[in-house]
Every structure is written in C-alpha cells, then in structure tokens.
C-alpha cells in the first residue's frame, strides 16, 4: 500500500500562492503592531504538561497533544519484565496511566505561554510589556470546515497597567490593521464584564446563577431575545428576573452610545460593579475620540464573550455583512499572574487570523502576488548559459525577482513555462544578440518584444514592470 502523501487530518500544506496571502496579512499585522509599540515574542511549540494542564478546563485538557516518552523511559513503563523486550517489540504494559506516558505537550494557545514568560523573565521585560505573537497552536479537535488541528493564533496584549489607555490603544491598532487589510465599515462591539454582572444582579438573578445567565445571553446573536428568555427559564432563572432583563435583551435601552450609557446608568449606576463598568466604558470612548477607533465603537450591553477569565472591558470586531467576529478580546486582570502568584493586570486582543484569511480569499481582497518571479531569463544553449547567469545577477541586483530557466530546450517551451506561471517578462539572448551586445525582452502580457542594448535591459525591465502595475 502506498503511503498517503496528504498532510495529516486537520493540518494543511501552504503552497506558495497561499503563503503569499498569509504573508501579506501577517506583514500588515506585524507592521501595525510595531508602530503601536508592540514587540514580537515567540515561545516553543513544546511546553511542559504541568504548564498546560488545568488551564483550559477538562474539555481543553483532552484536546492537548501529548508527546510520548521515548527510549528507556517508555520501555520501563511498558515492561513488566525488566529483562523484556525493547520499545517497538511487544511488551506487557502493566498498570500504566496516560499521565505516565508523557510530560510534554504542544502549545494550545498563546496566553498561557505569555503568562509563563511573564513569570520567568518579569524583571527583564519592560514594566508595561506590549507583546504580539503570531504562531501556530495545536488542538486535537474534531476537524471540520474552517476548523483545524494546527492553526495560527495572533495575539497582542499589554501587561502591567490598569489604565483604559491600554484598551484604547489596542482598539486603535485593531482598527488600523483591518483598515489596511481592506475591511470597510468595521464595527467594534464593546461591553464590560462588571456591567454585565451588575445588570444581571439588578434584574434579581441570584449570584449563584450569574454565570448561567451570561452563558444564555451570549447566545443572543444566534437564538434571538425570545430564545435567550427561554434559555434563561430553562436554566432556572425566575420569570420576573427574565422580564426585568427584556429591555436589555431587546436592545431597547437607547440607540446611541450616550443614550445607552445613560439608560444603563439609571439601571445599575448605583451599584459598585455597575459604576465601575460605566466609568471604564466612558473612559475608553473618550480616549478613542481622536484615534483610528473613533466612531467605530458600539456599546453592547449583552456582549458576554465566552471566556470566563475576562474582568473588565470586552470587545468584538465585526464587519456588517459577515456573521460572527473577526477579532475579540478584553481585559483579564487575574490570569497572567497565575504562575507568579501575584495579580498582573492585562488586556489583549486576538485576531481571528485563519478566519480573516478565509474571508479575504472569498472576497478576493489580496493584492496580486508580490513573491513570484518577474523575469524569466531563458537559456538558449549550454554554451550561452553563463550569459544568462550574468544577466540574472544584474536584474536581481536591481531588486527584481528573477528565475533562470535551467535547461537549453526550445525557446517556445520556455516562454510557455513563463506564461503558465504568470511571469510577466522573459529575457532572450540568442547568439546573434550576444554578438551585438543586445537582449530581447519579451513582455508576455502585451505579447510585445523589445530589442534592447545589453546595458539598458535592467532599466527597461523596471520600466515595463512599473507600467504594468
């Protein structure tokens, strides 16, 4: 049986055309984040299981890829008989637990490694550590449409400050990234976890059912206000509490951010959590007034975001004609300190990189490839091959991307190769041209041939490529 040459289930090969798209997006992200003072970080794919386990809930723990022990460590486990077979041979396993077979796993997200890095290198890092990280993560999830076992995450976080300027700066950077990628009419929903809790509390939902209520409300986009009301009931929330939540669920509190905030103030402004939530949101809106996020923020009092670790403002990035979000984040002041045993304030945003790539491909939003060759230097004969190398060298030194056809086959075949690969120009040097110090430069888009003195060919190639753009 032939070995399958497909990549494993849930993983992908990125061929050059796709790589060009991925690079294009990542370069924009990187460039913008660096202008916003974020610094790059990379952590290893492999982490100790002691770092990973217990951070993502039971379900998450099950999805962590574990690295099997090797060699003696494994054979000792699998052997009953110390003199028995070596690994690879059949051996008695004895009483073996999963936890004994591995102590390393693959990175599951970029947040836990960040927390580890902050604990490990705290004193080497800036007091306000603004980092971005673009790396793959692995989850042994059931693969499906758009769901992979190996996929990239793209996180930007600011560690060390409780100031709302952090939120404002993150939101501004996010707006600029999406603008640069070509997404129009970006909207950012913003809410606050404390405000949410205050609303739930004010409706008369007991503290023990707060999380239940938030889980139900988080489904509003999918199941509507009636659906959420039914779900709240199913989760044991009293009818009068549900009734009290109705104006919130039905978006009846106000149309503008100002009106909404006033209505919310009337409802929960007197509670400690409500006041804190409103104060923070007003501050973020005020700070964003003269930034790229200006006019993009919509207060949305039901936005909950699934992850329970958020403690302050939360946000989600949407474009009007697309269901679901393209990015999301918020403040999570209790997580980053987990390995250091102290509280470390933090706020971050994760771009849905794989989703962004899918949407951009569907909408044909990518630039024409800027990675493929621009000139094919053809090969007339083995004798003249050094001429080709010399010409290619010159063109490359001028910054052009140049491929050398490696074999002296028929010219027509070489030009066809260039055409199939969308290489715009082909340089031809037959003995006649070499003798009179010339080059034929063929523009394959226009089908035009230019006879050109040898020492002007770089200038002409640059001109033709410039004209064609």
Ranges within 159-218 binding its own copies (CB under 8 A): 161, 163, 165-166, 168-169, 172, 176
Q: Which is nearer to its own copies, 89 or 236 (CB)?
A: 89
If one asks whether residue 410 binds its own copies (CB under 8 A), the answer comes out as no
Residue closest to 297 by CA, chosen among 246, 258, 350 = 258
If one asks whether residue 259 binds its own copies (CB under 8 A), the answer comes out as no
Number of residues binding to its own copies, judged by CB under 8 A: 122
Which residues make Cβ contacts (< 8 Å) with residue 259, sequence separation at least 6?
253
Q: Which is nearer to its own copies, 87 or 206 (CB)?
A: 87
Is 132:154 a contact under the CB 8 Å cutoff? yes
Joined together, the tokens standing for residue 211 give 């999380």
Least distance in angstroms from the C-beta of 40 to its own copies: 4
If one asks whether residue 244 binds its own copies (CB under 8 A), the answer comes out as no
Instruction: Dihedral sign for Cα 160, 164, 165, 166, please.
Output: positive
- HEC string for 323-364: CCCCEEEEECCCCHHHHCCCCCCEEEEEECHHHHHHHHHHCC
Least distance in angstroms from the C-beta of 388 to its own copies: 7
If one asks whether residue 287 binds its own copies (CB under 8 A), the answer comes out as yes
If one asks whether residue 84 binds its own copies (CB under 8 A), the answer comes out as no
Residues in 117-146 at the binding interface with its own copies, rule: CB under 8 A: 117, 119-121, 124-128, 130-131, 136, 138, 140
Site string for its own copies, 412-431 (x = CB under 8 A): -----x--xx----------
Residue of 59, 82, 95, 144 that binds its own copies (CB under 8 A): 95
Strands 438-443 and 425-428, sheet pairing: antiparallel
Q: Which is nearer to its own copies, 352 or 372 (CB)?
A: 372
Rounded to a whole number of angstroms, the distance between the first and last alpha carbons of the chain is: 49
Least distance in angstroms from the C-beta of 121 to its own copies: 6
If one asks whether residue 358 binds its own copies (CB under 8 A), the answer comes out as no
Least distance in angstroms from the C-beta of 232 to its own copies: 33
Residue of 59, 82, 97, 410 that binds its own copies (CB under 8 A): 97
Number of C-beta neighbours around residue 141 at 10 A: 14
If one asks whether residue 361 binds its own copies (CB under 8 A), the answer comes out as no
Rounded CA Rg of the chain: 29
Residue closest to 401 by CA, chosen among 378, 429, 385, 424 = 424
Residue of 197, 356, 405, 457 that binds its own copies (CB under 8 A): 405
Residue of 213, 214, 253, 402 that binds its own copies (CB under 8 A): 402
DSSP conformation class of 134: E
Which ranges constitute the DSSP H helices of 250-338? 257-268, 272-288
If one asks whether residue 94 binds its own copies (CB under 8 A), the answer comes out as yes
Residue of 57, 89, 182, 453 that binds its own copies (CB under 8 A): 89
Is 32:180 a contact under the CB 8 Å cutoff? yes
Residue of 251, 403, 434, 444 that binds its own copies (CB under 8 A): 403
Is 336:113 a contact under the CB 8 Å cutoff? no
Q: Which is nearer to its own copies, 142 or 270 (CB)?
A: 142
Strands 39-40 and 129-138, sheet pairing: parallel
Residue closest to 350 by CA, chosen among 310, 377, 383 = 310
The label of the residue with tokens 């460590």 reads 73
Of 16-24, 225-233, 268-276, 455-463, the window that binds its own copies (rule: CB under 8 A) is 16-24
If one asks whether residue 7 binds its own copies (CB under 8 A), the answer comes out as yes
If one asks whether residue 246 binds its own copies (CB under 8 A), the answer comes out as no
Number of C-beta neighbours around residue 356 at 10 A: 21
């Amino acid at each position: 049986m032939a070995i399958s040459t497909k990549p494993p289930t849930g993983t992908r090969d990125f061929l050059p055309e796709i790589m060009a798209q991925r690079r294009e997006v990542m370069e924009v992200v990187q460039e913008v984040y660096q202008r916003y003072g974020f610094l790059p970080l990379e952590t290893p794919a492999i982490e100790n299981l002691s770092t990973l386990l217990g951070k993502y809930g039971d379900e998450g723990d099950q999805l962590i890829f574990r690295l099997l022990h090797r060699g003696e460590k494994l054979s000792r486990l699998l052997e009953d008989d110390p003199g028995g077979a070596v690994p690879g041979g059949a051996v008695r396993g004895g009483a073996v637990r999963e936890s004994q077979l591995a102590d390393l796993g693959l990175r599951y997200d970029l947040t836990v490694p960040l927390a580890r890095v902050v604990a490990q290198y705290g004193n080497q890092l800036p007091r306000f550590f603004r980092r971005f990280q673009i790396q793959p993560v692995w989850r042994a999830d059931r693969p499906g449409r758009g769901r992979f076992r190996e996929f990239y995450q793209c996180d930007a976080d600011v560690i060390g400050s409780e100031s709302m300027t952090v939120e404002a700066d993150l939101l501004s950077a996010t707006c600029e990234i999406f603008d640069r990628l070509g997404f129009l009419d970006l909207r950012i929903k913003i809410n606050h976890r404390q405000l949410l809790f205050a609303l739930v509390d004010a409706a008369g939902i007991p503290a023990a059912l707060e999380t239940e209520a938030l889980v139900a409300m988080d489904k509003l986009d999918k199941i509507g206000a009636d659906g959420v009301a039914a779900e709240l009931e199913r989760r044991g929330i009293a009818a009068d509490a549900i009734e009290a939540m109705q104006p919130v669920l039905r978006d009846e509190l106000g149309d503008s951010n100002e009106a909404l905030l006033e209505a919310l103030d009337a409802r929960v402004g007197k509670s400690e959590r409500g006041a804190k939530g409103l104060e923070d949101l007003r501050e973020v809106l005020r700070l964003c007034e003269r930034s790229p996020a200006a006019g993009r923020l919509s207060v949305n009092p039901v936005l909950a975001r699934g992850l329970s670790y958020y403690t302050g403002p939360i946000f989600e990035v949407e474009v009007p004609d697309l269901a679901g979000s393209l990015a999301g984040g918020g403040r999570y002041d209790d997580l980053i300190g987990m390995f250091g045993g102290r509280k470390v304030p933090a706020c971050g945003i994760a771009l849905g990189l794989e989703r962004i790539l899918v949407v951009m491909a569907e909408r044909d939003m990518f630039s024409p490839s800027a990675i493929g060759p621009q000139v094919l230097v053809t090969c007339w004969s083995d004798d003249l091959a050094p001429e080709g190398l010399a010409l290619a060298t010159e063109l490359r030194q001028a910054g052009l991307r140049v491929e050398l056809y490696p074999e002296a086959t028929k010219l027509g075949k070489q030009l066809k190769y260039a055409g199939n690969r969308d290489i715009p120009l082909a340089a031809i040097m037959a003995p006649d041209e070499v003798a009179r110090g010339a080059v034929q430069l063929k523009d394959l888009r226009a089908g035009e041939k230019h006879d050109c003195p040898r020492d002007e060919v770089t200038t002409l190639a640059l001109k033709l490529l410039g004209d064609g753009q």
